[in-house]
Structure 1
Amino acid sequence: MREPVELRRQRILSVVESRGAVKVSMLAAELDVSVVTIRRDVEELTRAGRLRRGHGVARPVREAQPPAAVPAPRGEEPGGDGGAVALVVPERHSYLYETLHGARTVLEESGIRIALHIAPQSAGAERPLVERALADGARGLLIAPRWRNTRSEELDYGWLADLGVPTVLMERRPRPGSALHALDSVCSDHWYGTHLAVEHLVSLGHRRIVLAARDDSPTARSIRAAFTEIAAARPELEDWSVVLSSPQAVPGPGPDSPAVGAAAAEAAPSATEDCTALDLAALLRERGATAAVLHGDVDALMLVQRLAESGVEVPRDCSVVAYDDVVAALGSTPLTAVAPPKAEIGRAAAELLLHRLSGAVGASGPVRRTELLPTLKVRGSAQALTPPIE
């Protein structure tokens, strides 16, 4: 039996008046009706002066204000995090800042207050920030831990798994079987992104490829492992190698596992692991390589500059595909780049967290591990290999 229109609209009013601003899509999910129906209801309620309508958001006519004589409860005082969603990202990380802005858009459209915390580069910096946010009353958490090495990642597993509030990891995929395996997460499929880079270069005729990548983040380790697997499985490739893109791109102190293990080295003896400052031009000549995949963008632009200083022109002498696509297009040679869906990761993570917080039917359902596919932005830094004149 269909719910009477007036009863449904009264339920809409009750939800909006109790929460402040609510997305139309969330109202549709909670009331189990179509978005079109909810939008029509909101429009009618707005005409009647009972609601205010924003971009995809329904708002109460008057925002609730606490009586002036009654002090706000702990966690709700101005500047506190009470009722907010805590958002924790590393400092000086332009890639994750795009993810942050994607999440911010969704949360602000929903009328959710954001408590942003920037974690310094020191090991374990995220935990005290999260504990402070929870003590101030944060009701949910979006977090992208730095995790410079696998040991620092493992040290975070215990406390992150036991926070007691809905939590979504952004651009992080915990180790299978770990305490965080059953935590909601949204990240890029970096295996697919690496595949796009290799496939593009192979399609242009390149058979000797170098990966110069960082090794100080989960993304970097995923790319290195994916490249090793993909290159070893491509019979067209005559030679491939894996090196550091920068002498500063190492995991940092503490026990860690190598990005290219013994099994991979045995499967592909051409793989190399160089932990010293990289002379990419010399390596290309030594290996006879005609193409390179470079992670991340800033390292890629600097390496291309160093190649030019060594007389190696991109793409004439070496085709290049960058990975990250944060600033790859801004170089004197705009770089073809793999572009993870950074902002979309933030948006999807925020939407998942809002679903968990909504109390709607299914909001406490199965854990979700969402992967979004990167794309390849072709800009001309990679070209078809010209066969040698015999």
Structure 2
Amino acid sequence: MREPVELRRKRILAVVHARGAVKVSTLAAELDVSAVTLRRDVEELARTGMLRRGHGVVRPIGDTGRTTAVPAARSGEPAGDGAAIALVVPERHSYLYETLYGARTALEEAGIRITLHIAPQIAGAERPQVERALAAGVRGLLIAPRWRSVTGEEADYGWLAEVGVPTVLMERRPRPGSALHAMDSVCSDHWYGIHLAVDHLISLGHRRLVLAARNDSPTARSIRAAFTEIAASRPEVEDWSVVLSSPDAGPGGPGTVEEVPDLAVLLRERGVTGAILHGDQEALMLVQRLTESGIRVPRDCSVVAYDDVVAALGSTALTAVAPPRAEIGRAAAELLMHRLAHPVGTTGPVRRVALLPGLEVRGSTRGAARPTN
């Protein structure tokens, strides 16, 4: 199914706000959008005052042309940034670009120079980016690895624990007892986010629930584990299940194939009236498919999206769990600046910060219909 225009433009804005200034050709390549489509989107966003464009470069509103974040991810040359902070994030990831924007804003306010490194969508892509940044002499690192699978995540623990400069993980919480357990991190409390979603549906009278979620990131795995625990512990829930949200939402690789059911069929067979859908793009597309199958949202099934990047842009605005994406980045940057000024051991222990998501109630949830006799 074709990506919604609103979502594509949201991704464009996320990248531009995170990067500060981006060439139009680079933006098209990174977002996997045709140059013609990208230019049309940029023109519309500029017309509505959401960004600035000129001479083949797109900038956020208020950017005067001073480049603070220097893309170094795709070049083979050291960036020459002896006093810089390196930010490493995966490509084509709107959620983490908003986190990156929060970090960038905090660092710019402190007058700290930034180098941005975009890791390609391949296993182990972050390590070369970090090594390039270290070779350039950066003095600190903010990183949000993709970590599509548990195996891929744990393969990075050893080298990442030995980078040799103060490091803060953004929106990542490594396995307890691992080599990264004692690394500073700032993360959303996704257990609490799922608690909000389940509690909201239960309060509306829904007793048969499903989670249709991705399974290719630490956030996705946390959401699945939290839903399983919470749904099983709530006596009000009569039936629940966890399924994959789309064929490309799994980690890939041997032994990781997971069946993707027809959600409309599943809802009818199990009498589900409340669904939590992760992430936003999958949520919007799944709601479209439910509508096409004759299931009306929220009359027949209430839906809560998880992420709230573009959940409000659907034909039915989706109630959504909203992790504090930009605040995660800002808090991570502030923690890194604290650590640079006060090395570990001089100002207390390593910090593992968790920020609570909120719930944005919109038009996709309502009270469950009473069964008819």
**TM-score interval for Structure 1 and Structure 2 normalised by the shorter chain:** 0.7 to 0.9
Structure 2 partner of 1:184: 184
Equivalent residue in structure 2 for 1:277, among 260, 271, 283? 260
- Structure 1 residue 116: Cα displacement: 0.2
Q: In 2, Cα distance between the equivalents of 1:208 and 1:277?
A: 19
Structure 2 partner of 1:351: 334
Structure 1 partner of 2:88: 88
1:277-296 counterparts in 2 under 5 A?
Answer: 277-296=260-279
- Structure 1 residue 358: Cα displacement: 1.5
Q: Give the superposed CA RMSD.
A: 1.7
Structure 1 partner of 2:64: none
The secondary structure found in structure 2 opposite 1:382 is coil
- Structure 1 residue 168: Cα displacement: 0.2
Query: Given the superposition, is the C-alpha separation of residues 255 and 363 from structure 1 closer, same or farther in structure 2, using an over 3 Å criterion?
Result: farther
- Structure 1 residue 140: Cα displacement: 0.2
- Structure 1 residue 276: Cα displacement: 2.3
- Structure 1 residue 251: Cα displacement: 1.0
The secondary structure found in structure 1 opposite 2:248 is coil
Whether the 8 Å CA contact 1:213–1:294 is kept in 2: the answer is yes
- Structure 1 residue 340: Cα displacement: 0.3
1:160-309 counterparts in 2 under 5 A?
Answer: 160-253=160-253, 275-309=258-292
Whether the 8 Å CA contact 2:146–2:217 is kept in 1: the answer is yes
Task: Provide, for residues 5-33 of structure 1, a one-character-per-residue CA deviation record: whole Å limited to 9, x for no partner.
Answer: xxxxxxxxxxxxxxxxxxxxxxxxxxxxx
Q: In 2, Cα distance between the equivalents of 1:217 and 1:388?
A: 38
The secondary structure found in structure 2 opposite 1:182 is coil
Task: Provide, for residues 29-86 of structure 1, a one-character-per-residue CA deviation record: whole Å limited to 9, x for no partner.
Answer: xxxxxxxxxxxxxxxxxxxxxxxxxxxxxxxxxxxxxxxxxxxxxxxx9942211000
The secondary structure found in structure 2 opposite 1:294 is strand
Q: In 2, Cα distance between the equivalents of 1:363 and 1:326?
A: 39
- Structure 1 residue 363: Cα displacement: 5.5
Structure 1 partner of 2:364: 381
Task: Provide, for residues 331-357 of structure 1, a one-character-per-residue CA deviation record: whole Å limited to 9, x for no partner.
Answer: 111000000000000000000000011
**Paired residue type of 2:300:** D
The secondary structure found in structure 2 opposite 1:320 is strand
- Structure 1 residue 389: Cα displacement: 2.6
The secondary structure found in structure 2 opposite 1:115 is strand
Query: Given the superposition, is the C-alpha separation of residues 344 and 254 from structure 1 closer, same or farther in structure 2, using an over 3 Å criterion?
Result: farther
Task: Provide, for residues 264-283 of structure 1, a one-character-per-residue CA deviation record: whole Å limited to 9, x for no partner.
Answer: xxxxxxxxxx9223311000
Structure 1 partner of 2:314: 331
Structure 2 partner of 1:134: 134
Q: In 2, Cα distance between the equivalents of 1:254 and 1:156?
A: 19
Whether the 8 Å CA contact 2:105–2:330 is kept in 1: the answer is yes
- Structure 1 residue 380: Cα displacement: 1.8
**Paired residue type of 1:377:** E
**Paired residue type of 1:382:** T
Whether the 8 Å CA contact 2:78–2:135 is kept in 1: the answer is no
1:309-328 counterparts in 2 under 5 A?
Answer: 309-328=292-311
Whether the 8 Å CA contact 1:151–1:254 is kept in 2: the answer is no
Structure 2 gaps, min length 5: 1-76
**Are 1:365 and 2:335 an aligned pair?**
no
Query: Given the superposition, is the C-alpha separation of residues 78 and 306 from structure 1 closer, same or farther in structure 2, using an over 3 Å criterion?
Result: closer
**Are 1:119 and 2:119 an aligned pair?**
yes
Whether the 8 Å CA contact 2:78–2:136 is kept in 1: the answer is no
Whether the 8 Å CA contact 2:207–2:237 is kept in 1: the answer is yes
Q: Percent identity?
A: 78
Which protein is bigger by CA-based radius of gyration?
A: 1
Query: Given the superposition, is the C-alpha separation of residues 255 and 276 from structure 1 closer, same or farther in structure 2, using an over 3 Å criterion?
Result: closer
Q: In 2, Cα distance between the equivalents of 1:178 and 1:360?
A: 21
- Structure 1 residue 388: Cα displacement: 1.9
Q: In 1, Cα distance between the equivalents of 2:225 and 2:260?
A: 21
Q: In 2, Cα distance between the equivalents of 1:293 and 1:326?
A: 15
Structure 1 partner of 2:27: none
Q: In 1, Cα distance between the equivalents of 2:112 and 2:132?
A: 19
TM-score by length of 1: 0.74
Whether the 8 Å CA contact 1:357–1:363 is kept in 2: the answer is no
Q: In 2, Cα distance between the equivalents of 1:137 and 1:344?
A: 27
- Count of residues in correspondence between the two structures: 297
Whether the 8 Å CA contact 2:211–2:227 is kept in 1: the answer is yes
Task: Provide, for residues 211-266 of structure 1, a one-character-per-residue CA deviation record: whole Å limited to 9, x for no partner.
Answer: 0000000000000000000000011111000000111111121567xxxxxxxxxx
Q: In 1, Cα distance between the equivalents of 2:143 and 2:79?
A: 20
Whether the 8 Å CA contact 2:243–2:260 is kept in 1: the answer is no
TM-score by length of 2: 0.77
Whether the 8 Å CA contact 1:356–1:363 is kept in 2: the answer is no
